[in-house]
Amino acid sequence: MIEIKAVRKSFGAIEVIRGINLTIERGEVLCLIGASGSGKSTLLQCINSLEPIQGGQIVVDGIDVHGKSTDLNKLRQKLGIVFQQYNAFPHLTALENVALAPRVVKKMPRAQALELAREHLDYVGLGARADLRPAKLSGGQQQRLAIARALAMKPDYMLFDEVTSALDPELVGEVLDTMRNLKATGMTMIVVTHDIAFARESGDRVAFFDRGTLCEVGPAKQVINEPREERTRQFLQRVLN
């Protein structure tokens, strides 16, 4: 599991995460919702140790993420992360992009890495586009490429940071379908999203963030349909209306 214990994070004098406690169980899909700047994306980066924390502790499968002796390269193999921006290498084909990390990080032989990459491109529906470079792919296809690239490292957990927010509306569905398929395999997922319908239908739990605090967390349909906190209610009314 992932345990977040009294975590605090600041950028200079600005505290963006204020003592958050949260546990994510194996096999769970947790959706993080809230206004921009509420700390959701920063928390994902803290979980993956892309950002340091100023207080508290984050533990992944018993490993202290920010411990001085923690092997971050080994830890990050447990944690796949997909961002808003696709960040594919433009000079490599889709197949080469997905095969790169297994070859470099896991020292996998080239032929084996390419076979693995093809399997993951097939999984996200890009098998027919394996030999294309990213510039020849649509935004939705590039985002699915990013998911395939993360999955190729065989992570135990997947972190998604607003992966559909930069896409044209007609491309959002194909990415969300890929995430739904991933949920069906039992993958543990933490999803930062502005798509309330996806959070309600595909999340096991929803956590509402407000100004760096965890305002409310509970079963997805309960939090979205019948929020207990007034601040959650106000946010959802504004977003849904």
> DSSP 3-state assignment of 97?
helix
| pTM of the complete model | 0.92
Average pLDDT, the chain: 92
Q: What is the pLDDT of residues 175-200, one digit of tens each?
A: 888 888 888 899 999 999 999 988 99
Q: What is the pLDDT of residues 78-105, one digit of tens each?
A: 999 998 877 889 999 999 999 999 999 8
Task: List the domain boundaries for the chain.
Answer: 25-51+68-78+157-241, 88-154
Neighbours of 60 (CB within 10 A): 22
Neighbours of 187 (CB within 10 A): 19
Look at the domain 25-51+68-78+157-241 and name its fold: Rossmann fold (3.40.50)
Buried b (16+ CB within 10 A) or exposed e, 80-99: bbbbbebebeeeebbbbbbb
